[in-house]
Amino acid sequence: MLVYVDESVDEGPSQVVPWVQEMDDRGVRTFGSRLRPASDTTTIEVRDGEVLLSDGPFAETKEQIGGFDLLECADLDEAIEVAARHPGATGGRIEIRPLWEA
């Protein structure tokens, strides 16, 4: 699950703490973390064998990935229910994406 936020109005982790505790208690959240601001980003590209670096995010948008959570849900319906309860869903967006099977 990717959490997209508008960093100009991000209120920090305090609103997320109860959601994290609830999902940890339910056993659906296996790992997650808040990410540093997009201004701390280093973008890496390799072109013709040369490593190119640039500061900041590649995309020019208000919303940036603000964090992520790895979930272990029974199905998509449960993942949607869990993601919809995340505080970031009310002011930003949540993207649910399954992992490739190993």
Give tens-digit pLDDT for 4-29: 988 877 666 778 999 999 999 999 99
For 47, phi then psi, to 5°, come to -130, 125
pLDDT of residue 8: 79
- In the chain, where the domains are located: 2-95
Computed from CA positions of residues 43, 41, 39, 96, in that sequence, does the dihedral angle turn out positive or negative?
Answer: positive
Q: List the end-to-end C-alpha distance of the chain, in Å, as a whole number.
A: 18
Would you identify the CATH topology of the domain 2-95?
Alpha-Beta Plaits (3.30.70)
Token pair of 77 as six digits: 């319906």
25-75 tens-digit pLDDT: 999 999 999 999 888 988 889 999 999 998 876 666 677 889 999 999 999
In sequence order, the β-bridge partners of residue 44 are 53
Q: CA 25 to CA 11: how far, in whole Å?
A: 24
Is the pLDDT at 90 greater than 70? The verdict is: yes
Task: Give the whole-angstrom CA distance, residue 70 versus residue 73.
Answer: 10
Asked if 7 and 37 touch (Cβ cutoff 8 Å), the reply is yes
The predicted model scores a pTM of 0.82
